[in-house]
Amino acid sequence: MQKSVSDNIIITEHLFLIMEALSYGRPYKDIHHTDISNINTSLIHMDNATRIIIHIDMDAFFAAVEIRDDPSLKGKPLIIGMLPHERGVVSTCNYEARAYGVHSAMSIKTAFHLCPNGIYMHPNIAKYINVSHQIHAIWDQYTDLIEHVSLDEGYLDVTHSVHLFGGAKRIALEIKRKTLAETGLTCSVGIGYSMMSAKLASEEKKPDGLYVISNPKALKRLIADRDVRSIHGIGEKTAEALKRIGICTVREMEQNQDIVIQMMGQNGVQLLALADGTDNRLVSSFSEPKSIGKEHTFQHDVQDFIYLQEVLHLIAHELSYEIQLRELSCRTVTLKITYSDMRQITRSTSGETLYRSGDIFNAASSMLQKIERRWVRLIGISLSGLTKSRQMSFIDNHKASIDDTLFSIQRRYGRQSIQTGSELHARKQVDGD
């Protein structure tokens, strides 16, 4: 049976007190004059700009759109992706199919094995994009600080608009109501004091849920006994490696902080901060670029491939800095060469997501080894397949922590504040060009 929206509302802790206070039309800054001593110190925890963030994610998105358009599918397991006789994976499936163990990214073969009676359909992406525009138009009514994560998901920073609408809870309910009325679809909404807490909150009562995580204490209580993958940035690989040393839950991670830091360096420090409820990421409404690239055109054509490697080194450092600033990583590295006769070639390689200069350089450099050795006029690298989700890995731990520390210093004190010896060397070579 479909749960009603109100059944799903669970408001934890004290965030609603702020929201209710705000709902009486007082400007947001007034909250600072409110006596909070009897509310709880949890409010104090919201000091990193006291943000109120709403995370929205549509329920079984592709499948829900298809069921809306063909009600005869309702109640039956529906799998969107490839068809059983094709090679490929599940894009998504409805909750009835999930009961059979089917899930996104599973091979269709496995899905069919688990759920032979399911209905299998190809996705209609154009249709989903239209719905996506409709839901974005609803979100736009509540704030202009929106980060679109995917077709069905986004973060709304409502900190500065919440008082206009009678509180974050009211915004959430209105969004759910309008989404249902205008698209015929349900979504799950999370309200939090940070991006991670808002996302965890939206996942908490799926489908058609609404949940609030108002402070780090509530967040920690919620995830303490969960798999470490509850923490933003911990992917499959890192979780597996932690498991190998007996760390499965967030609590176990916190109990073994020294080991985590020893293993993962700066990444470990960041992940422990997230586990402790500190997430200072800001909702960013800048739409992400599709690719980021840099090129170098030589004053005089070059045939010295060792020299070309130096240039690649430099470009890799610059690009690594750029994508880290945007908290992105990339899946594809493309090497571009223009020969002296203006003939242009590109070579690409795709694999695991990466963002460190060493990894970018290695990918570009190995492509350079394989190209025709002629006079070169221009060399460049571009990074595409950009994604926000960064899988933190501790492979090559020592090198990784140096890279990450360098970036932290550069972000704080400027790009030129510190550079590796290899970069300085490369710069010297190229400057002399």
Interface ranges with Mg ion (CB under 5 A): 57-58, 61, 152-153
Which residue in the set 15, 19, 54, 60 belongs to the binding site for ligand TTP (CB under 6 A)?
Answer: 60
In whole angstroms, the minimum distance from the beta carbon of 184 to ligand TTP comes to 15
Residue 1 touches ligand TTP, criterion: CB under 6 A: no
153 included as an active-site residue: yes
In whole angstroms, the minimum distance from the beta carbon of 395 to ligand TTP comes to 24
Spatial neighbors of 45 by CB under 8 A, at least 6 apart, are 193, 215, 216, 217, 277
Which residue in the set 68, 170, 178, 206 belongs to the binding site for ligand TTP (CB under 6 A)?
Answer: 206
Residue 75 CA to residue 143 CA, distance in Å, equals 36
- DSSP-derived secondary structure letter, 332: E
Catalytic, out of 66, 147, 153, 423: 153
Residue 105 touches ligand TTP, criterion: CB under 6 A: yes
Residue 194 touches ligand TTP, criterion: CB under 6 A: no
Place of tokens 């008082």: 163
Stretch that binds ligand TTP, among 146-154, 254-262, 386-394, 425-433 (CB under 6 A): 146-154
Burial per residue of 21-59, b for 16 or more beta-carbon CB atoms within 10 angstroms, e otherwise: bbbeeeebeebeeeebeeeeebbebbeeebbbbbbbbbb
Nearer to ligand TTP, 98 or 221 (CB): 98
Which one of ligand TTP, Mg ion, none interacts with residue 391, CB within 5 to 8 A by kind?
none
Residue 146 CA to residue 136 CA, distance in Å, equals 9
Which residue in the set 12, 23, 42, 92 belongs to the binding site for ligand TTP (CB under 6 A)?
Answer: 92
In whole angstroms, the minimum distance from the beta carbon of 350 to Mg ion comes to 23
Which one of Mg ion, ligand TTP, none interacts with residue 92, CB within 5 to 8 A by kind?
ligand TTP
Q: Is the dihedral of CA 108, 113, 114, 119 positive or negative?
A: positive
Which residue in the set 61, 112, 120, 298 belongs to the binding site for ligand TTP (CB under 6 A)?
Answer: 61
Half-sphere exposure (Cβ direction) of 22: Cα atoms closer than 13 Å: 27
Which one of ligand TTP, Mg ion, none interacts with residue 105, CB within 5 to 8 A by kind?
ligand TTP
Residue 371 CA to residue 349 CA, distance in Å, equals 14
Q: Are 326 and 371 in contact (CB under 8 A)?
A: no
- H or E segment at 402? helix 397-413
Which one of Mg ion, ligand TTP, none interacts with residue 206, CB within 5 to 8 A by kind?
ligand TTP
Q: Are 154 and 148 in contact (CB under 8 A)?
A: yes
Query: In 3-state terms, what secondary structure has residue 287?
Result: coil
In whole angstroms, the minimum distance from the beta carbon of 50 to ligand TTP comes to 28
Nearer to ligand TTP, 112 or 128 (CB): 128
Residue 153 touches ligand TTP, criterion: CB under 6 A: yes
Q: Are 383 and 312 in contact (CB under 8 A)?
A: no
Binding footprint of ligand TTP on the chain (CB under 6 A): 57-62, 91-92, 104-105, 150, 152-153, 206-207
Kindly list the catalytic residues: 153
